Amino acid sequence: MKQTGSIKALLVKHEMILLWVIAVEVILFQVLGQNFLTAGNVSNIFRHSAEIGLLALVMTPVILTGGIDLSVGSLMGLCAVVFGMLVKVYGLDPLVAAGLTVLVGALGGGLNAGLVAGMGLRPLIVTLGTFSLFRGLAEALTHGSKSYSGFSDGFLALGNSDILGVPAQIWIVLVVGIVIWFLVHHTTYGRSLRAIGYGEEGARYAGLPVKRNISITYVMAGAVAGLAAVILVSRLGEARANAGMGYELLAITAVVLGGVSIFGGAGNVSGAVLGWIALAILNNGLTRISDYEILGEKVSSVARELSGLLTGLLLIAALALAICMKMLAAKRSAKQT
């Protein structure tokens, strides 16, 4: 009977575990690596993972409803190309172009929303379709190879300068993070997302606006994917069709690692943020590992390549762990009755 209570306790514990993981990562990379805990590198960790952070933040509400959005990475590609064209071909001011790009992202998310909430189709196949569609549009617009560069210094500063000693884009992540955190944990909207994730039918019986709120999560995910695209272009100084490739997986990994249940309902934003940080540190730390030689191979060069592989393994491990915990809890509660 205490089962759900202990799940909640576990969630809190989950975040403690993540903090420990992060601490171990930091110590490990500081010992094994070069210049890991320097102001410059810490700033880099965040600068280079800001886009993933944004995607993880907006993926959280989607997964809370029991859905998934595989299209955010591709949508970033489309948005990056749109932004590049707006600035370089149509000569728009980067700020105006950024606004329009976010709008395009929201429209892309709106397509997902219409198909998922409006037509009641399964999110995985819908967003798999738009995954292909958005990337395909980006490639079509650039004829597969064209890229846009040569943006103004003012715009490039967004991705490459500091404000108050913190990478400029991290301020944006912070603002988005606070908004999402507030929406999820302090509004009736956020509460309805959890209710939907636990049981869509039950939420409908309680008179909650199920379709509308599911739609909002996908539109929001699209808009923020557009924003992430702008930031990415600013950091790299180049807009290409392959922008954000594979980012959806990193975002999902961060969220699942952060203890948000892939089946919906349970989880919180702070967990997703910690999941993101743990992932970001891992990716950066591996590139910092000093030269040791084991069996004639340079450890550093291998380690540098490992981050993608580890991300995949980590995702499976996190999922399997969550399932095992659930089974254990179920067994315990079965014993009690």
Partner 1 sequence: MKTLLKLTGIKKSFGAVRALKGVSFELVEGEVHALLGENGAGKSTLIKVITGAHRPDGGAIEVGGEEISELTPAKAQELGIACIYQQPALFPDLSVAENIGLRLEKLGIFKRVGWGDWRQKAEELLARIGAEISPVAEVSSLSMPEQQLVEIACALGSGARIVIMDEPTASLTQKEQHLLFKVVRDLRAQGVGVVYISHRLEEIFALADRVTVLRDGESVGTNPVNGLNESQMIRLMVGRDVETIYPQAEHELGEVLLKVESLSCAASGLEGLNFQIRAGEIFGLAGLVGAGRTELARVLFGITPADGGSISLNRKLLEISSPRQAILHGIAYVPEDRRKHGVILEMAAAENMTMASHSRWFKGGILRKGIETEAGREFVEALGIKLSSLAAPGGSLSGGNQQKLSVARWLATQPKLLILDEPTQGVDVGAKGEIHRIVRDLAKQGMAVLMISSDLPEILGMSDRIGVMRGGKLVEIFEHADAEQVMAAALGSEEVKA
Partner 2 sequence: MKRYSRELTVGGALVLLMISLAIFAPNFFDTQPMISRLASQMPALILALGVALVIITRQIDVSIGSQFGMCAVIAGTAAAAGVPMPLAMLCALVAGALMGAANGWLVAGLGLPSIVVTLATMVIWQEVLRLWQKGLLLSLPDGVQWFGMSQGTGQAMVIGSTLLILVLMAWAMKNLSSGRRIYATGSDAEAARLAGLAPKATTFWVFLLMGVLAGVGAALNLVQSPQIQPNSGEGLELKAIAAAVVGGIAITGGRGTLWGVLLGMMLLANVNPALTHFHQPPYWEKAIQGLVILLAVAADGIRIKKQKHLK
CB of 41 to partner 2, least distance (A): 24
Query: Using the rule CB under 8 A, which residue among 99, 265, 270, 326 binds partner 1?
Result: 265
Q: Helix 94-113 vs helix 210-236: angle between axes, to the nearest 10 degrees?
A: 140
Q: First and final CA of the chain: distance in angstroms?
A: 8
Considering CB under 8 A, how many residues would be counted as binding partner 1? Answer: 31
Separation of alpha carbons 315 and 310, rounded Å: 8
Closest CA to 78 of 225, 295, 218, 203: 225
Name which of partner 2, partner 1, none residue 256 binds, using a CB cut-off of 5 to 8 Å depending on partner kind.
partner 2
Separation of alpha carbons 123 and 63, rounded Å: 10
In this structure, are residues 329 and 3 in contact, taking their beta carbons and an 8 Å threshold?
yes
**Binding to partner 1 by residue 206, rule CB under 8 A?**
yes
Q: What one-character-per-residue DSSP string does 56-125 give?
A: HHHHHHHHHTT-----HHHHHHHHHHHHHHHHHTS---HHHHHHHHHHHHHHHHHHHHIIIIIT---HHH
Separation of alpha carbons 269 and 240, rounded Å: 30
**Binding to partner 2 by residue 252, rule CB under 8 A?**
yes
**Binding to partner 1 by residue 266, rule CB under 8 A?**
yes
**Binding to partner 2 by residue 296, rule CB under 8 A?**
no
* x/- map, 148-187, partner 1, by CB under 8 A: -------------------------------------xxx
C-beta of 36 vs 247, nearer to partner 2: 247
* x/- map, 115-154, partner 2, by CB under 8 A: x---xxxx-xxx-xxxxxxxxxx-xx-xxx----------
Contacts with partner 2 in 41-80 (CB under 8 A)? Answer: 68, 70
**Binding to partner 1 by residue 208, rule CB under 8 A?**
yes
**Binding to partner 1 by residue 201, rule CB under 8 A?**
yes
In this structure, are residues 134 and 75 in contact, taking their beta carbons and an 8 Å threshold?
yes
Residues that bind partner 1 (CB under 8 A): 1-5, 7-8, 185-192, 194-195, 198-199, 201-209, 265-266, 337
